[in-house]
Amino acid sequence: MGNGNSLLDYERTAQRPGWEHLPEQLRAAITDRLGSPVTSAVSRTSGFSAGFASVLTTADRGSYFIKATSATSSAAQLYRAEARFAAALPVAVPAPKFLWSAELAGHVVLCFVAVVGHTPKLPWSADELRAALRAQTAVAASLADPPARLADLATTSFSETARDRYANWAAIAAGRVSMPDIPSWASEQLGLLVGLEGLLPGLTDNATSLIHYDMRADNLLVLNRYHWTLVTDWAWVMRGPSWVDTVALLIGASDRADVDQLLAEHPTAVGIPVQGVEAMLAAYAGYLLVHGSAEPDPTSPYLAQHRRQSGLAALGWLHRRLEH
C-alpha cells in the first residue's frame, strides 16, 4: 500500500499499541472503571493516530470502544476536545454513544458503546456512499440550530480556519513553499488556484450552524449492510456551513462520474455560494498536497499518502468542474 498510487485501505492505516502493551496501571484503571475484567481486546487499525483504540469485551458481556493517549502527548488536547463535544452532541446525530472520559494513570481515556461496523472501502460502492450521504444529511439537520451547550464549545469557525490554514497556493506563489508534484495544468494555473483558495474565508463567513470538519471515509462506520452510517471522531467541531462537510466527504468519491449530481441532490447543496465548491477544492488540494509532500511520519506511515491521494482527488474534481 505504500507506493502512493494504489488506494489506501483505511482499515489498515494506523499503528497502535495493543491492550497487552498498555502500562499495567492504566489497564487496571480502565478495568476498574468498566467494572468487570476485560476478557478480549480487538485493536482498531483505522485512522492515522498512534493512540490506543480497541474494542474491549468484559466478563459481564459488556462491549466498549476505548481510546487512550498519554496526557502529555500532542494528541491529548484533541482527545479532551472530542470528549467535550461527544458528550454534548444531540441524540439525533448519527454517532457512537459516548459513555465517559477520564484522566487515568497519566492518560486521557474515552469510552463509547462499541458498535459492529467497518470503515468504507475505496473506491466507494454506491450503497456505502449513499449511506454516508444520508448520515451527513442527519448531521447537517441536527447541527443547523445546535443546542447552546454544544454551540458554546465551538469557539472557532471554518472561515477563521480557512484563513489560517488554506493559503498554501499563495505560499507556493510567493516562494515560501516548494511546488508539490502536481499535474501540469495545475502548475500552469497557479494564479487561478491562489485566487480560488483566497475566496474560501469570505464564502463561508457568518455561518451559525456547526460542522464536523473531518468528514472523510476513515471517520465513518458503516453498519447494517449499508443501511446506516455513524460519524466518529468529533474533535474538530466548529461553526461553518454544512455543505463544507458534504464536499469534504465527496472528495474521496470524486472519481465517480456522478459526483456533481450527488452533491447537487444533497440537501446541504442549497446553501452553496457561487464558486464555493471550486474555492474549497482548491484550498483543500493545496493544503493536502503541500503537507502530503512531507516525509512519512514513522508513527503514522500512511498519513502522507492519504493526504496526497486526497489532494490529487480534490484537484482532479476541481479540474473537471473548471472545464464545464
Tens digits of per-residue pLDDT, 132-146? 999 999 999 999 999
Which residues, at least 6 apart from 72, have a Cβ–Cβ distance to it below 8 Å?
Answer: 106
User: Domain 126-323: which CATH class?
Assistant: alpha beta
Q: Give me the percent of the chain exceeding a pLDDT of 70.
A: 98
Tens digits of per-residue pLDDT, 46-55? 889 889 999 9
Tens digits of per-residue pLDDT, 165-178? 999 999 999 999 99
**Owner of C-alpha cell 481510546:** 67
Q: In this structure, which CATH number among 3.30.200.20, 3.40.50.2300, 3.40.30.10, 3.40.50.2000 belongs to the domain 19-113?
A: 3.30.200.20
Which residues, at least 6 apart from 226, have a Cβ–Cβ distance to it below 8 Å?
Answer: 125, 127, 128, 130, 131
What is the reported pLDDT for 295? 81
Q: For the chain, what are the domain ranges?
A: 19-113, 126-323
Asked if 19-113 and 126-323 have one fold, the answer is no
In this prediction, residue 2 has a pLDDT band, given cuts at 50, 70 and 90, of very low
Cα 27 from chain centroid (whole Å): 28
The pTM of the full predicted model, rounded to 2 decimals, is 0.95
One-character DSSP codes across 226-254: GTEEEE------EE--THHHHHHHHHTTT
CA distance 288 to 131: 26
